[in-house]
Amino acid sequence: MITARHQAELIGNTDLLRIHSLSELTGCDIYLKCEFQNPGGSIKDRAALQMVEDAMQRGELKSGMTIVEGTAGNTGIGLALVAKSYGMQMLAVMPNDQAKEKERVLELYGAKLMTVEPCPFANPNHFYHRAKAVAEQHKDHWWANQFENTSNSRAHYLHTGPEIWQQTAGKIDILVSAAGTGGTIAGNSCYLKEQNGDVKVWLVDPDGSGIYEYLRSGEYKNHGSSITEGIGIMRMVENFRQARIDHGINLPDSDLVTIARYVRNKDGIVLGSSSALNVAGALFAALYSGPGKTVVTFACDLGERSASKLYNTAYLQQKGLLDCPKDVAPLLDKYRSQKWRDKVVSPNTSGA
C-alpha cells in the first residue's frame, strides 16, 4: 500500500498494457505506457514535477510563488496539481482553440487561465511569449519554460525510461513517440539506448508539424494541419535536441481516427488524439520491422480529453474525417506498401 503526503508523490510508476488486437495482427507485442494513470491524467505530470522540484532545489521557486506556463493544456494541468502540492499558485496561458475539457480541468485544479488567439510562433502574442512576458513582470512568478527547460527530459531519463526497461525486463526493441517539447522522446531514448544501443527509436509526426521534414532535410517545413494538440514543433528546442532518433514517419489524422475507433471497439481502450497518433506509429513501426518485436509507446493522457474533437461526429465531419475506415485492414495494407515504407526517414546522426 502506498501512503502519500500529497498528489505529486503519486506521479509515475504507471502500468504497461499490451494492445491485444494490434499485437495479434502484427506478430509483435505492442505495449502502451498508461500515462493517464498519473494523478493529473497525463504524461506531462512527470515533467511538471521534475521542473518544479529542480527549480525549488536551485532556489528559484518557493512556496507562495506563482508558476506561469504557456501550454496546450496537459502541462498546465500537471503544473497546477504540483503547485497545489507545494503551496504555490498556477497561471496557464493557453490557445483558445484547445479542447474545452482541458480548460475545465485546469480551473478545477484552481489554476488561473489566460486564453489567447492562436498565432505563429514569431508573433509576440503567441502563448509561449505571453507566458514569458507575464512571468517577467512579477518578481514572485516563475516561468516553467517546458520547451527549453531540460528538467522536462530529465524526468523521463530518471523515471519513465527505467520503468519501461524494468517492465519489459530489458526486452524492448522499439520505442515510438510523437514530440511536442521533445522531452518524452529525448529522456526515454537517451536512457534506453544507454541500456541497449540496438533499441530503435521512432518519431511519429502529425501533419502541421515540421519535425519529420527536419529529420529528412534539416529544415523545418510543414504541410496541412492536425487535430492533435500539443504535438509537433516548427523550431529546434533544447529538449528535442537531446533526442536520439533512428526513424521518423509522418502520419495523417485519418490514420489516428481509424486507430482510435479500432482499439476502442476491439480492446476497450479510449485513446486521446496524441495517443492515437502514437499507436498508429507503433503499428507502422511493428509492420516495418517484422514480427517478434517488443514495441512500446505512450497513452499520453485520458481519452475523454479528446471527446469534443476525436469522438465528436460534428467536429470530424467539419474536418473531413468522418468517413475514415472503421476497420484497420486498409491501414495495414497501406503501411505494408513499398510506397509508405519509402516514406520512412532516418537521420544521419544518432541525435536529432
Report the distance separating Cα 126 and Cα 131, nearest Å.
9
Give the up-direction half-sphere exposure of residue 91: CA atoms within 13 A in the CB hemisphere: 18
C-alpha distances (whole Å) from 260 to each of 111, 233, 277, 311 are: 30, 23, 9, 9
Query: Which residues on neighbouring strands pair with residue 95, listed in sequence order?
Result: 116
CB atoms inside a 10 Å sphere around CB 259: 26
Query: Out of 33, 44, 193, 200, which one is annotated catalytic?
Result: 44
Residue where the block lists cell 510523437: 178
The runs of H, that is alpha helices, within the chain are 20-26, 44-58, 74-85, 100-108, 127-136, 151-155, 161-167, 183-195, 211-217, 238-241, 253-267, 273-289, 313-318, 329-336, 338-341
281: Cα separation from own chain's centroid: 13
139 CB contacts (<8 Å, ≥6 apart)?
none
Give the up-direction half-sphere exposure of residue 320: CA atoms within 13 A in the CB hemisphere: 5
Q: How would DSSP label each residue in 253-274?
A: HHHHHHHHHHHHHHH-----HH
Is the Cβ–Cβ distance between 22 and 286 less than 8 Å? yes
The runs of H, that is alpha helices, within 68-120 are 74-85, 100-108
Q: Is 343 a residue of the active site? A: no
Report the distance separating Cα 173 and Cα 44, nearest Å.
24
Give the up-direction half-sphere exposure of residue 270: CA atoms within 13 A in the CB hemisphere: 9
By annotation, the residues acting in catalysis are 44
